[in-house]
Structure 1
Amino acid sequence: MHAPPLLFLDEPSTGLDPQSRANLWQHILQLREQHGTTVFLTTHYLEEADRFAERVMVMDRGRVIADDTAPHLKATLAGDVLTLGFADAADAERALPIVQALTDREVRREDATTIGTTVPEGEALLPTAIRRLDAAGIAVRTATGVPPTLDDVFLALTGRTLREAGETADATPASEHDASVQTSEPTTETAGAQR
């Protein structure tokens, strides 16, 4: 086991404190860099998979339902949550069709003075929307863009969170609900999330 070509790890970071988790990941990454080891692992911590995985595989009830890079899955399946706030309800109402014209995704009222949408590449849409609204004489008071997570991807694909998948009261065992993350460089390294 000095330099295995392939290594499978089942939730190696579960129960570790943050420092131990960081040390474990440093060791896993060194295996890949120094020995070209392909690592396939599962984890309950999707932020680990997002940060370290080169490839993401989402499984639900024993079937692979998505397989791509984390950034691509997040952009296409979840998207950035954009929220724009205005001084009053009239400005929010006037802003709605202007922002809607910029995307094929639904733009909705969040409350009386706020509108929002979930879109791919929100970092590009947000400044464009603000410029268009300004040109229309509508002042944006607040603007936020929240990038998606792999949890959002799992929810978008399955309609439920990882926790809900494990707690479903149907006849499907919790072990059949998987979100796996896969990474690849010169060799294929895989990280995953399972519930």
Structure 2
Amino acid sequence: MRLLSRIGGRLDKWRQGVRSKSVARFLRRQGVVAEGEVFASGVLPRIVNHGRLQLSHGVDFYSPVHPVEVFVGDGAGMAIGAGTFINQGTTMAAACSVEIGEHCHIGEFVAIHDTHFHCVSPDQPVKTAPVRIGRNVWIGHRAIVLAGVSVGDHAVIGAGAVVTKDVPARTMVGGNPARPLGTFECPDDWRRT
């Protein structure tokens, strides 16, 4: 029984190593700059990269059924910090700049866009403005972060929230449009698990 357990453990490590190498090859083909190991469970992310997409060590795309979709336009940039977890169905689009800090938790079907893509009316041009998400931010299921928003470190964005304005550090927001629900204290080096 121990022998079978050891063989099974070695097979699992071998499979993870093969999977890790295939993810790295896939990212290189998409022109992604990966600084360290990037993980993809289930379906590989859909990536359209015409600019600069940079992933730090430990970024984890979790897509058991629905792929994560990433679009980086001409001359645009997107950077995702170390240890950030991105759940299935999430869409992220950069027409100018999207920055996501280290150790963030991004829930299922979240949308993060730095552009509105289309004009609302003839006298209102397409809005495009950088999005910056700090460290250790938790973004809940189906939340939307729109162009020009900055989210402070350790903030929490509730499920279904539509974030149209900046969110201060250590603040919880929710609703449509998102409004502050409260604040909390935590050490600067604290990380969610």
TM-score (norm 2): 0.21
The structure that is helix-richer by fraction is: 1
TM-score by length of 1: 0.20
Largest Rg, 1 or 2? 1
